[in-house]
Structure 1
Amino acid sequence: MLDMRKVMWLLVIPCHVFSRTSSPSGNCTGLSEITFQDIKDIIDKTTQMNLLFNKIADLEEQMITLKKYVPRVIFHARVSDGKNPVAQKRVIYDQVTINKGLAYNTVTGFFTAPVPGVYQFTYSLLAQMTSERTAVYLMRNDESQSYLHSILKSGQAQSSSMDTILSLNRDDQVWVRLGTGSAWSGLGALNFQGVLLEAEED
């Protein structure tokens, strides 16, 4: 809080300056009417104004932060038991355990990037024991980015997975295509997941 004596001097000096230029008597009659309560009220109002200015500055900083807000993007999905994908089809992972950011669509099987940035994806393959050659591809829009390939004798099965890091633009779509053979979805064997590692500005 301001020192009362300093406030009094701030009031006295302008008064005397004004009185010397406008009145030969040099009287500051108005000053005698000002009480300490008046001064205190002025100080309180000044303090309140300073608090309001500080709040406005805080709100402006919060607005800047909100403009830079980046949603958390994390999803994990799997193919339901019994829904074994067939060759030359997009794999639909219809069971979602987490979908922060709502970027993965359980109907279309597409992950659509909500913001540009670097993403990490993981997908898995478990071929049917009757399928000797099975391959799944991770697609970005219409281009293959990586793949899993299983070559086994009939009656054998092997589970595998692949991690892929991609730099995506906003609205790029990432999905999984079963190219050849057939996959088995039992016990949650077929999974697709992704996470935003680092967002970039548009």
Structure 2
Amino acid sequence: MKGVVALLVLLCSTLTAAMVITPENGDKNCPSDMCDMLRKIEVMENRLAAAESQVETLNAKAETKVAFSAGFGGTGFYGPFNVEKTLVYEKVLTNLGNAYNPATGIFTAPVAGVYQFSVYHHSGPGRRSDSLLFKNKEQIAFISAMNKDGSYNGSNGIILQLEEGDVVYVVLKDNSWIWDHMSNVGAIGWCHFNGILLFAQ
């Protein structure tokens, strides 16, 4: 694409140089057909420059790599609370592009595109684990796990189209728990929040 653009620009420049008004005809008005052609060449050069800029922008977006995986990083029960709370997954395993903030638990889309997210929670024995996945202030998905006789895992996954600057995060419902356990050094526990950019737009 860049080679084609360069060739067209060179051709336009050559034609423009060939049609420069010389001293012999400089005191005359520019012939209408020549002026029209010069205007058309100028429009073509502007369009080519705009197309080249768009191609460079698209290439930069295509090369953007975004992926994160974070664990809750605790041991034992978290909750319950009488209000909803944003869950902060502090134990980061992967954070390509640094779009996930482990201090707030919030993912911010660095580019417009299609993203995939997943959430995995452990309820603990005899406890209810209810949480919500949000896009900006809109509830997108529900994650639930409960078993009176034992402990269960709850999970959900979704594909979202995001604009640059959109945020995605997980909220623990009021009067709900999650249970996490760090079994060894380097582990990220039982409760995770993950996301990846599938393709930019």
Query: TM-score range with shorter-chain normalisation?
Result: 0.5 to 0.7
Pick one of 83, 87, 103 that aligns with 1:107: 103
Quick check: 1:116–1:199 contact (8 Å CA) kept in 2?
Answer: yes
Counting only pairs closer than 5 Å after superposition, residues 6-85 of structure 1 correspond to structure 2 as: 66-68=56-58, 69-70=60-61, 71-82=64-75, 84-85=77-78
Q: Compare the two structures and name the one with the higher helix fraction.
A: 1
- The corresponding residue for 2:38 is none
Q: Deviations over 1:27-75 (max 9, x none)?
A: xxxxxxxxxxxxxxxxxxxxxxxxxxxxxxxxxx998764321210010
For residues 75 and 125 of structure 2, what CA distance do their matches in structure 1 show?
15
1:130 shift after superposition: 3.9
The code of the aligned residue for 1:142 comes to: K
Q: SS at 2:178's partner residue?
A: coil
- The corresponding residue for 1:16 is none
Quick check: 1:91–1:109 contact (8 Å CA) kept in 2?
Answer: yes
For residues 180 and 52 of structure 2, what CA distance do their matches in structure 1 show?
47
For residues 112 and 78 of structure 2, what CA distance do their matches in structure 1 show?
30
Q: TM-score, normalised by structure 1?
A: 0.63
- The corresponding residue for 1:172 is 166
Q: SS at 2:115's partner residue?
A: strand
The code of the aligned residue for 1:172 comes to: D
- The corresponding residue for 1:45 is none
For residues 150 and 182 of structure 1, what CA distance do their matches in structure 2 show?
10
Report % sequence identity.
31
For residues 120 and 162 of structure 2, what CA distance do their matches in structure 1 show?
21
Which 5+ residue runs of structure 2 have no aligned equivalent?
Answer: 1-50, 183-188
In structure 2, relative to structure 1, the CA distance for the partners of 1:128 and 1:83 (3 Å cut) is closer
Q: TM-score, normalised by structure 2?
A: 0.63
Counting only pairs closer than 5 Å after superposition, residues 48-197 of structure 1 correspond to structure 2 as: 66-68=56-58, 69-70=60-61, 71-82=64-75, 84-86=77-79, 87=81, 88-131=84-127, 133-153=128-148, 155-179=149-173, 180-187=175-182, 188-197=189-198
Structure of higher CA gyration radius: 1
4+ aligned runs moved over 4 Å, structure 1: 61-66
